[in-house]
Structure 1
Amino acid sequence: MTTADRHASATAPQEHGHGFDYDYLIVGSGFGGSVCAHRLTEKGYRVAVMEQGKRWTPDNMPRSNWRLRRWLWRPMLGLRGFFTMSFFRHVIVLHGNAVGGGSITYAQTLLVPPARIWDNGQWAGLNDWHAVMPEHYATAQRMLGVTTNRIIAPADDALKRMAEVAGCEDTWYPTEVGIFFGPEGESGTPAAGSTHPDPYFAGEGPERKSCIGCGGCMMGCRHGAKNTLDRNYLYLAEKHGAKVHAETKVIDVVPLNGKADGADGYVVTTVPSTFAGLYLGRGKRTFTCQSIVFAGSSLGTQELLFRLKDKGSLPNLSDALGKRMRTNAESLISCRMPGSRDDMSKGIAIGSGIHIDEHTHIEATRYPAGSDFMGLLFTAMARGKPSWTRPFSWLKAMAKVVAANPRRALKFQLPWGFAKETIIFLCMQTAEGHLDMTLKRLWYWPFRKALVTEGKRIPTFIPEANDFVTRGAEAIGAIPGSSIPEILFNIPTTAHCMGGAAMAASPEDGVCDGQNRVFHYRNMLICDSSMLAANLGVNPSLTITALAEHAMSHIPRKE
């Protein structure tokens, strides 16, 4: 038996007593949590899923991101949407929370990362990943309904033209996505948007509507075409008995009967995710479970585990908690075409991508017409290395834009019309780079500890990507742009926060082992993006799903 096995939790307790409320309690309903809920109910376990976000349907999705109350998640301010921006010293993290986790607001791009990622980071050598993972990727692709994008829209054509200028047009590809396009040939015809019987699970799943290419994927699909988790994994889990507690936040997890390693199970305390619950502690409930799965996203799981370790509820969690949080070394860059006759909002959220070199991957991203809020975050591209001089580079760039055409410059800077006129380029790299997270009191708010970032700054400026967009913008008649936080504060923005409770061979290097079992505890797993141990260089959702499938494959059926 390895050191990891001696310290890791057992995933299948010898006995499941009838005194527990649930066999497994899952914290979070995202890609890891929904997979676990489905596979555990399949195996006969009684499962509960605690989700702090709301349950959304096509009927109650916001029509645009100007409807902040139904888009942004800030309960203290009365904002109860599904999209969150978390601000740290080193990074701004964009993420979602809802029944179905980030799948409600993600761009449903589901890519297999380069094979070399398994040879990097703390998980290298834990398994023969190259042999093991293809099967789980295939299962994840089938369950999530992965298919090749069929709607090539103006933004995708523009990316192809830019790639030709850069000499990398042979790397352009339509994305692999989790969208129902209907029968072959239906996309782009009057029949798009038609209702069809469940096309994925032999009638076990919900009926679906085919994609109309409105570009609204990241605003929550109001047409029922996006393969969100509440239409596959979580839908099937609930159908077979899993209980989802929406708008419920876990605040404490304590081993039962004084068994420090959790051998006798856990008592879990929750509050409603309302102002009264989150900030006044009202509405507390307790549940008992034999086993627990943390699946609340990288930030959510790190913060919860830090608080549990800090208060003494789970004091033996590894000191590697919070170490090596990764962001895919991302940068957001834009091209805006004020007055363009081509509607850049059409298509699907991320319809195509390119590789400008072996480490740098760029995707063409869009919001639906009218969802112009993100236009507040972009301005003229500032060249030069990140430093105190970069704002001056921006002033120079903005002056050139104004001098060239003052009216066009004004329209470029104002947010209205942003979605129809703009391509947002999501630039990602596999290059190593990470931050550390910890829990500490802030000097300006010492009343409560908060999750903060530490360490060296990660890159905010990707020269190769900036050069690509600058040259390509000229070819398509656009004005290149950078994000304002990157220019003014040297802070990058990422939608892919990974690691912080990563897989490793020992608790000195990670928080869980190669089967997702938490070191020093029994009956406890981590199955979300916090388990990832390397920069993937692509959107991580498919890998999270595949690794959760791998973890569940080691749990036997309930006897």
Structure 2
Amino acid sequence: MSSQSRAGASDGGAVDVIVVGSGFGGAVAALRLSEQGRKVLVLEQGRRHTRDDFAVARRDPRRYLWMPGIGLRGFFSQRVLSHVGIIGGVGVGGGSIVWAGVLLEPKDAFFTDPAWPSVPDGWRAGLTEHYRTAARMLGRATAPIKGPMDEHLEVVARRAGAGETYGPTPMAIHFGEEGVTVPDPFFGGEGPERTGCVMCGGCLVGCPYGSKNTLDLNYLWLAQRRGAQVRPDSRVVSVAALDAGGYEVELADGERLRAGEVVLAAGVLGTVELLFRSRENGGLPNVSERLGVGVRTNSEAITAVLADDVDVDLTRGPTISSEFYPDERTHVTQNRYVGGWHMRLQLGPLVDGADPRRRRREALRALASRPALQLRTMFARNFIRRLSVFTVMQDVENEIRLVFDRSPVRPWRRVLRSRAVEGLQAPSYLPQANAVARSFAESIGGRPLNLLLESIGGKSITAHVLGGASMGTDAADGVIDTDHQVFGHPGLYVVDGSAIPANVGVNPSSPSRRWPNGSRHATPCVVHPANRPHSRTPPRRTHDDTGHRRAAAIDTRTAATIPDAARRRAPGRRHVPGRLRRTGRAAGRRAPRHRARWDAPVVRQAVRRRRKRREPPRRRGRHPARGAAHAGRARTVVARRPSRDRRVVRIERAGAVALGPRRVPPRRRRDPPRSHLRGCSGITDRGVTVHARARRLTGRTGPVVSRPAPPT
């Protein structure tokens, strides 16, 4: 640690290093730093899940899904961008919660990829020792059984002429004696008790037995015994460099923490988004422009087969237990998915085609021509027991780019969005994946299936996203150096999958790195490139000088802006910026009066309130385009009647005239449901005709003023 960073740590007082994220990179960093006597604080945005939580999550979506925006705080997250869908885990232990436990090493081609910056002796030689460390810490072993799913996969491998490449997959699971709990078998009694794997096939939805070697049972467990603190429910929203050295970390609840060094290990999406936001708000101004470049999906496709035999049970065993290589660049594993109830809704007919548009048309045609077959798949009896899922990955080059831009749904927020790279698009179709599904279906007797997000959505679905804050020789070539330190910000490190600049080609579980500590031969630090996001963009809110959120200005020839009082909204309500859209005569063509059209957020809210309370309709006001003579008065168009009602409704500010209700006889016929904007009549310079709803909208009070409405 540099002296500058140590000065910053002394200012914070409480901790020396803050680690953002508790996945593979964050857990290993916490342990290795704690072993050096540092005071370490690990911040995790998810919860600390118990074994009971994992058991309940297999049948309860509320305990399974991570969607904090709607109150779901489980551990499984799925984030869909324009070109890719990314699966991850959220909670103490990060991606290891939904990890299948696979511990594979990449081929030599991965270490010699030109995307890596050069190091003495090469990456393979430098990382061999650390792979052995990872295997020991994570309890590498192979499954002691071979189930029916494994036998059928072996048949597929032989048919493909790749029978010699078939074999059991090394796993991070304590098999032991099935269902028997024993003292810690890995760390000389220093770790927790472990239970032998019961072969339930539910590794992807959390292990309720304590058999899978998730990070809370090894790295995080040991780090906490050495003094590290782990704080769940702590979402980091920004990081800022301090003038005196060190960094300040801001949490979503407004709390600010300081430390001499900060380690970012929030997964690719979490780390890249946090760096983008911190650079944009000025906290980390020197982050490289290469941020978000070189994101890879591991060239992955997912297929499945639903067996025809309703009584067959393929779930016995760990989630992944066997693998093979159909060709030199392709790797295949099978998956049991106990607890994957959502797969019923995500699978559809198997369709070939590298052209996403053509494949989409063929998939939709298949669904439309045989809807009963799709319904039988969705509502199949014993669905999970009959389901086999295949993960097919390649080390073929692909790339997308992540940018920090306005959300297409909520444009007042800036979020991560994906951009395609010409000629290097992430694949949503691999012919090898469809061939494996067809061959397996023929062997077992069943129906081959594609993910609908791949076949219809044209998106690559992956749990192994890599890159975005990749290594480089300098800031023009990458975001971090070979010691994982961010260029331009000493003491700030990135140690998760976003640092990996090349496709692994297999389930990436333990590519190792050196922990930066001033020496190139420092304590090893394992980094899991499939770590999941732990940081999300908070809502961006702008306020005026009175403390209220600003409304979008409306500026036309006949209307100025919404009055200040009309902009005031109840606390907690989201503001939807709107703009005035106009057609008819004001747009340069002749049209009836009722064709002039306005729209604004205040209007839409008023309509919803009025529809809910079933208030009576109001008489139309004067046509807004006829009021140009009243140039001295600021006018605000708040609502309109649709063309079918042939009415225009308006509110105008007319000096100090107070607003008040008026009585209107109810109509015999209710307005049609599509009536777009109801709720208010208007005030003109000649009279006042305003419903109480307008008074509530504008926030004005005073005596009731009632005069006849002007003629129209």
Fold-level similarity (TM above 0.5): yes
Specify the alignment match of 1:97 in structure 2.
Answer: 90
Judged with a 3 Å threshold, the aligned counterparts in structure 2 of structure 1 residues 556 and 423 are, in CA distance, closer, same or farther, namely: closer
Specify the alignment match of 1:351 in structure 2.
Answer: 321
Q: Following the alignment from structure 1 to structure 2, what is the Cα–Cα distance between the partners of residues 81 and 152?
A: 32
Judged with a 3 Å threshold, the aligned counterparts in structure 2 of structure 1 residues 135 and 176 are, in CA distance, closer, same or farther, namely: same
- Give the residue type in structure 2 aligned to 1:39: R
The answer (yes or no) to whether the contact 1:43–1:556 under 8 Å persists in 2 is no
Specify the alignment match of 1:279 in structure 2.
Answer: none
Specify the alignment match of 2:151 in structure 1.
Answer: 157
Q: Following the alignment from structure 1 to structure 2, what is the Cα–Cα distance between the partners of residues 129 and 539?
A: 19
Q: Following the alignment from structure 2 to structure 1, what is the Cα–Cα distance between the partners of residues 75 and 514?
A: 23
Q: Following the alignment from structure 1 to structure 2, what is the Cα–Cα distance between the partners of residues 17 and 475?
A: 62
Give 1:63 shift.
3.4
Q: Following the alignment from structure 2 to structure 1, what is the Cα–Cα distance between the partners of residues 468 and 485?
A: 15
Specify the alignment match of 1:478 in structure 2.
Answer: 446
The answer (yes or no) to whether the contact 2:428–2:459 under 8 Å persists in 1 is yes
Specify the alignment match of 1:270 in structure 2.
Answer: 251
- Give the residue type in structure 1 aligned to 2:410: W
Q: Following the alignment from structure 1 to structure 2, what is the Cα–Cα distance between the partners of residues 552 and 66?
A: 49
The answer (yes or no) to whether the contact 2:310–2:381 under 8 Å persists in 1 is no
The answer (yes or no) to whether the contact 1:64–1:371 under 8 Å persists in 2 is no
Q: Following the alignment from structure 1 to structure 2, what is the Cα–Cα distance between the partners of residues 430 and 245?
A: 37
The answer (yes or no) to whether the contact 1:12–1:555 under 8 Å persists in 2 is no
Give 1:60 shift.
2.2
Specify the alignment match of 1:37 in structure 2.
Answer: 30
Q: Which has the higher contact order (CA 8 A, sep 6+)?
A: 1
SS of the aligned residue for 2:302 comes to: strand
1:79-478 pair list within 5 angstroms: 79-127=72-120, 128-182=122-176, 186=177, 192-256=178-242, 258-259=243-244, 264-271=245-252, 283-368=253-338, 371-394=340-363, 410-414=375-379, 417-456=382-421, 457-478=425-446
Give 1:14 shift.
6.1
Residue of 477, 480, 484 corresponding to 1:512: 480
SS of the aligned residue for 1:439 comes to: strand
Residue of 501, 508, 512 corresponding to 1:533: 501
Give 1:62 shift.
4.0
Specify the alignment match of 2:471 in structure 1.
Answer: 503
Judged with a 3 Å threshold, the aligned counterparts in structure 2 of structure 1 residues 141 and 255 are, in CA distance, closer, same or farther, namely: same
SS of the aligned residue for 1:298 comes to: helix
Give 1:399 shift.
8.0
Give 1:121 shift.
4.5
The answer (yes or no) to whether the contact 1:356–1:362 under 8 Å persists in 2 is yes
Q: Following the alignment from structure 1 to structure 2, what is the Cα–Cα distance between the partners of residues 421 and 92?
A: 25
Q: Following the alignment from structure 2 to structure 1, what is the Cα–Cα distance between the partners of residues 520 and 223?
A: 18
The answer (yes or no) to whether the contact 1:122–1:510 under 8 Å persists in 2 is no
- 5+ residue gaps, structure 2: 524-712
Q: Following the alignment from structure 1 to structure 2, what is the Cα–Cα distance between the partners of residues 426 and 550?
A: 34
- Give the residue type in structure 2 aligned to 1:478: G
Judged with a 3 Å threshold, the aligned counterparts in structure 2 of structure 1 residues 74 and 548 are, in CA distance, closer, same or farther, namely: farther
1:466-513 superposed Cα distances (whole Å, 9 cap, x missing partner): 123223321221211101011112112111111000111111121111
Give 1:118 shift.
1.4
Give 1:551 shift.
7.6
- Give the residue type in structure 1 aligned to 2:96: S
Q: Following the alignment from structure 2 to structure 1, what is the Cα–Cα distance between the partners of residues 142 and 401?
A: 36
Judged with a 3 Å threshold, the aligned counterparts in structure 2 of structure 1 residues 87 and 66 are, in CA distance, closer, same or farther, namely: farther
Specify the alignment match of 1:28 in structure 2.
Answer: 21
1:191-237 superposed Cα distances (whole Å, 9 cap, x missing partner): x1101110000111001000000011111100110100000000000
Judged with a 3 Å threshold, the aligned counterparts in structure 2 of structure 1 residues 415 and 523 are, in CA distance, closer, same or farther, namely: farther
Give 1:92 shift.
0.5
Specify the alignment match of 1:277 in structure 2.
Answer: none
SS of the aligned residue for 2:150 comes to: helix
1:90-123 superposed Cα distances (whole Å, 9 cap, x missing partner): 0100011110111011111111111211111432
Give 1:383 shift.
1.8
SS of the aligned residue for 2:249 comes to: strand
Judged with a 3 Å threshold, the aligned counterparts in structure 2 of structure 1 residues 47 and 142 are, in CA distance, closer, same or farther, namely: same
Q: Following the alignment from structure 1 to structure 2, what is the Cα–Cα distance between the partners of residues 372 and 548?
A: 40
Judged with a 3 Å threshold, the aligned counterparts in structure 2 of structure 1 residues 475 and 552 are, in CA distance, closer, same or farther, namely: farther
- Give the residue type in structure 2 aligned to 1:441: R
Judged with a 3 Å threshold, the aligned counterparts in structure 2 of structure 1 residues 409 and 339 are, in CA distance, closer, same or farther, namely: farther
Q: Following the alignment from structure 2 to structure 1, what is the Cα–Cα distance between the partners of residues 99 and 59?
A: 18
- Give the residue type in structure 1 aligned to 2:462: T
Q: Following the alignment from structure 1 to structure 2, what is the Cα–Cα distance between the partners of residues 391 and 454?
A: 20
Specify the alignment match of 1:54 in structure 2.
Answer: 47
The answer (yes or no) to whether the contact 1:11–1:523 under 8 Å persists in 2 is no
Give 1:33 shift.
0.3
How many residue pairs match? The answer is 518
Q: Following the alignment from structure 1 to structure 2, what is the Cα–Cα distance between the partners of residues 474 and 550?
A: 52
SS of the aligned residue for 2:130 comes to: helix
1:325-344 superposed Cα distances (whole Å, 9 cap, x missing partner): 01101101011113343312
* Runs ≥4 residues deviating over 6 A: 399-402, 550-553
- Give the residue type in structure 2 aligned to 1:484: L
Q: Following the alignment from structure 1 to structure 2, what is the Cα–Cα distance between the partners of residues 269 and 391?
A: 44
Judged with a 3 Å threshold, the aligned counterparts in structure 2 of structure 1 residues 12 and 315 are, in CA distance, closer, same or farther, namely: closer
Q: TM-score scaled to structure 1, two decimals?
A: 0.88
Q: Following the alignment from structure 1 to structure 2, what is the Cα–Cα distance between the partners of residues 289 and 441?
A: 31
The answer (yes or no) to whether the contact 2:100–2:319 under 8 Å persists in 1 is yes
1:70-85 pair list within 5 angstroms: 70-85=63-78
Q: Following the alignment from structure 2 to structure 1, what is the Cα–Cα distance between the partners of residues 303 and 270?
A: 27
With 300-309 and 503-512 compared, the bigger mean Cα shift is at: 503-512
Give 1:397 shift.
5.0
SS of the aligned residue for 1:113 comes to: coil
1:143-185 superposed Cα distances (whole Å, 9 cap, x missing partner): 1111122232222122112112222121111111110011xxx
Judged with a 3 Å threshold, the aligned counterparts in structure 2 of structure 1 residues 417 and 16 are, in CA distance, closer, same or farther, namely: same
Give 1:542 shift.
1.1
Give 1:374 shift.
1.5
Judged with a 3 Å threshold, the aligned counterparts in structure 2 of structure 1 residues 99 and 121 are, in CA distance, closer, same or farther, namely: farther
> Which structure's CA Rg is the greater one?
2
Give 1:415 shift.
5.9
- Give the residue type in structure 1 aligned to 2:166: W
The answer (yes or no) to whether the contact 2:8–2:246 under 8 Å persists in 1 is no
- Give the residue type in structure 1 aligned to 2:348: T
SS of the aligned residue for 2:141 comes to: strand
Give 1:16 shift.
7.4
- Give the residue type in structure 1 aligned to 2:206: G
1:425-478 superposed Cα distances (whole Å, 9 cap, x missing partner): 001000000100010013432111010000233111111221232233212212
Specify the alignment match of 1:274 in structure 2.
Answer: none
With 469-478 and 374-383 compared, the bigger mean Cα shift is at: 469-478
Q: Following the alignment from structure 1 to structure 2, what is the Cα–Cα distance between the partners of residues 16 and 416?
A: 61
SS of the aligned residue for 2:390 comes to: strand
- 5+ residue gaps, structure 1: 1-8, 187-191, 272-282
